[in-house]
Chains A and B, each alone.
Chain A
Amino acid sequence: MPTSPVYLEDKLREVRESGRMEYRSRSLPTWCPGCGYFSIVDGLPGALNEAGIQPESTVVVSGIGCSSRFPFFVNTYGFHTLHGRVLPVATGIKTANEALTVIAVGGDGDGFAIGGGHLPHAARRNVDLTYLLFDNGIYGLTKGQTSPTSALGFRTSTSPYENADPPLNPLLMVLSYGATWVGQAYAGRPQQLEALIKQAIAHRGFSYLHILSPCVTFDKTDRTYQNLGMHVTEVPAAHDPGDLGAAMRLALQVQTPALGLYYRESRATMGDGLNALAEKAMGRGARQRAA
């Protein structure tokens, strides 16, 4: 507990003066009270503000799901697309205009069920965008069905006896697909979350931030604040983010998820590749003349 009292007025002034409200829209989030996603809608504006990225040169792209309502709550350009298609739409945007900061957001169903076919390709191409994956292990917008990250034995309306399918391991997948920045955060640790979002955006290439978040409405037993708070750990200080093998071993630690930066690599982006291709096709130097 704080030793001196904290007054709401002071807090409001502090937030207003920080400049981060420039990045929030007037629409209030439609999520349930207590939803972990509130920390993310607070974290992204903070990160953009600190990085000095202009709202009008940012596009937040989403799929369909609770998390995908996100673009409505931030004051940037936004594209709320189709279920599972956030990454290809974001890839199209970045390919056509490299000057934009592109943030893709979506949930576990959006990214790993219906949209699972796109993730390997966005990662291997190293599209220069940031993918914030809100993982609550459930379909919230359709009122509580099983998702690809739901625990074995978990009960929902579509697995009324129990979930017979083991969950997949998102971090292990993304690491093996060739993402060049991989990290994990927890909605219950908002300061760390904001710092990781900032790092992910600063990374040049495909950055993937896995955000563990409880669904307070449809999951009362498994991924609760209480359970997550008890089990999450930190990425060890000795971990080398340049070591892919070590990052994969860390990703295997599913019972006690580690928070922090798993892996970072510097590699040509898709845009770099396309520019090199154009140079080859036009003959060196010709590209500059054309531009």
Chain B
Amino acid sequence: MRTDVQIAICGSAGEGTIAAGDILRSALAAAGYRIISFDAYPAEIRGFGKCVARLRATTEQVYSLKEKSDVLVCLNDEYGIPQVGEVRDFGAVVYEAKSITTLAAGAHLSAHLRPAQIPYPVAIRELSERATGATRSRNLVALGFLAGLYGLGVDPFLRIIDAKFKNKGAIAEPNRKAFVAGQQAGSQAFKLDLVSFGQPSAGQKSTILSGNAAVVQGCLDAGIDTFFGYPITPATTIMERLAVEMPRRAKRLVQTEDEISAIAAVIGAGYTGARAATATSGPGLALMSEMLGLGTMAEVPCVIFVSQRGGPSTGIPTKTEQSDLNMAIYGSPGDAPRIVIAPTNVEGCYRCAGKAFEMAERYQSPVIVLLDLYLSNRYETVVMPAAPPFEVDGDRLASKKELGPGYRRFALTKDGVSPRALPGMVGGMHVVTGLEHNEMGRVNEQPDNHEAMSRKRHDKLLHALHHPDFTQVKRFGDEGRVAIGLLAWGSTFGECLAAMFRARTEGVRCAAMKVVMMSPFPVEAVAEFIDQCDVVLVPELNYQGQFAHLVQAQTGRTVRRYNRVIGAPMPVEEIQAQMRALLAGDERKAA
């Protein structure tokens, strides 16, 4: 039987909502289901604001969350009431049966259910108290109830609870007890809803990872040597995980005083031949932009992970957005080309992270890996390769013949990449400067030299468009001529893919293309795709249509855009509505 169940857990910050979601997705992944999961939480740490943990467990590959959840668990009435609407008909709503205070009429969640939604009032608080002597394990009681109600195996849950709380003193045992109490209550409940879990898919062993965790794994597998960073949401977890993992491998991580220092140190380390990286978000990238120009000018390999959040300025730090594309591609003084790649899913985060080090070294350039909060924080099950698929050393080092008194660090070669001499190498001494320089690295402001060097810095990056074993663009759906095409980048591609597959089931000939290589731009492939579509729609999570601008400028072709800045993933239904409007030629409805 096919399984496709989406569960949402809603509560207040500090009630263990996100932790419950984390245990649930890990347990379901361990049981063999495919998972895609994304939590929404406020900026405050505790006591304020609504948290919603959401996950979709399936047996088939899916690309996004569903608009409607099958099950909602409410740990908090106040925050739960507005969420009730997201539960489908004949779906389940689990909520606290016995509030501690007497609520006014209409204030209790049960008054807000639709007739077709199946209510499961559970004495969550009481069960927690009875099992553990305290009310704080309510989240585990609720999880246990779900496991019991849907007949999910208990072992994976208990294993994950033990692992999660093993370093937190004596709370593993109460949490276990709370889970078991909930599980017993759930297994005795009379099941009325139409939600069911089939057997999970057997097959390859998969791992459940967040986008940021996948980035970390990619860095480690590519042999990262040094990391310098400054905390900023939503990139911080990259540094936090690396801070655990890198010292174990005798690699070095330093928390710097600001983002300027972080990128400066990364460039210093890259200059010595080390594989170096930093991670930041839009505001940090803004601070780094001058130094990135030096990276381009000095031709130093370095990797910058940028996880976008709502902007401009400090913006909306805990909500997702795709509005730093322009800055990632263009943000530096002068003509400062660099490589920008943007993965579209968690597996892509791993691949792009590893490939970024390869590219940085091979083309002697800064490489920006552009993520966003939705991608950084979402979890997916990923089948990891048996061995890291990355080249660990691709430096074009100067040969003995090239070294010596006439050594030219910035020699104009056929592919634009010049032989590097690293500090310590005899006969390779030279000065690297942010000033325009000649092949020897000496300051030179002559017009011919400036043009030749500008050409070198641009043209060498074009080879990245043919970088081995790297997906630049990929087309899905119908082949050949189609009525409508979706063109997307970053996390939004998952929703576009879902919209495209649904449109095909409605009989529309359509296709979707993801673009991973943002700079240099794969002009030919994208132009060819646009030419095969009667109309092309570009949905993205920014106000101006930054990617649509890029596509139009690079290909000289017109696309239709659909932009939302809602701080959340693009609703698949909205993409579908835009597609229908465009197909019907209804200009009023099309954005």
Contact = CB atoms under 8 A, between A and B. Distances in A.
Contacts of B274: 96-97
Given A80-B435, A100-B423, A93 B247 contact: no
Nearest to B244: A281
B158 to A, nearest CB: 29
Nearest to A125: B254
B307 interface: no
Nearest to A277: B247
Contacts of A278: 247-248, 250-252
Contact of B264 (A56, A81, A99, A120): A81
Contact of B276 (A76, A78, A96, A118): A96
**Chain B interface residue number, banded:** 35 or more
Contacts of A80: 431-435
B250 A57 contact: no
Given A82-B291, A88-B268, A282 B431 contact: no
Interface in A105-155: 117-118, 120-121
Contacts of B291: 82, 85
Nearest to B261: A88
B521 interface: no
Interface in B276-333: 276, 290-291, 294, 298
A99 to B, nearest CB: 6
A75 interface: yes
The dominant DSSP class at the B interface is mixed
A100 B272 CA distance: 10
Contacts, number: 148
A280 B254 CA distance: 16
A89 B261 CA distance: 8
Interface in B450-494: none
B429 interface: yes
Q: How large is the interface on A (under 10, 10 to 19, 20 to 34, 35 or more residues)?
A: 35 or more
B423 A121 contact: no
Contacts of B434: 64, 80-82
B269 interface: yes
B266 interface: yes
A289 B261 CA distance: 33
B265 A56 contact: no
Contact of B429 (A56, A89, A121): A56
Contact of B260 (A59, A85, A90, A270): A85
A281 B226 contact: no
A191 interface: no
B162 to A, nearest CB: 23
Nearest to A271: B252
A230 interface: no
A290 interface: yes
Contact of B268 (A79, A117, A121, A290): A79
A183 B247 CA distance: 35
Contacts of A71: 431, 433
A57 B425 CA distance: 8
Interface string B168-195: 0000000000000000000000000000
A267 interface: no
Interface of B: 225-226, 228, 244, 247-252, 254, 256-258, 260-262, 264-274, 276, 290-291, 294, 298, 423-435, 442-443
Interface of A: 27, 55-57, 59, 61, 64, 71-72, 75-82, 85, 87-97, 99-100, 117-118, 120-121, 270, 274, 277-278, 280-282, 287, 290-291
Given A78-B432, A79-B432, A92-B228, 17 more contacts: A55-B429, A56-B428, A72-B442, A76-B429, A78-B431, A82-B294, A89-B271, A91-B261, A92-B269, A93-B272, A96-B252, A96-B269, A97-B274, A270-B254, A278-B248, A278-B252, A281-B248
Closest 9 CB pairs of A and B: A92-B268, A92-B265, A88-B264, A281-B247, A78-B431, A96-B269, A96-B274, A80-B433, A88-B261
25 contacts: A55-B429, A76-B429, A77-B423, A77-B431, A78-B432, A79-B433, A80-B432, A81-B434, A82-B294, A82-B434, A85-B261, A89-B271, A91-B261, A91-B268, A92-B269, A93-B268, A93-B269, A94-B268, A95-B268, A96-B225, A117-B261, A121-B257, A278-B248, A278-B251, A281-B248
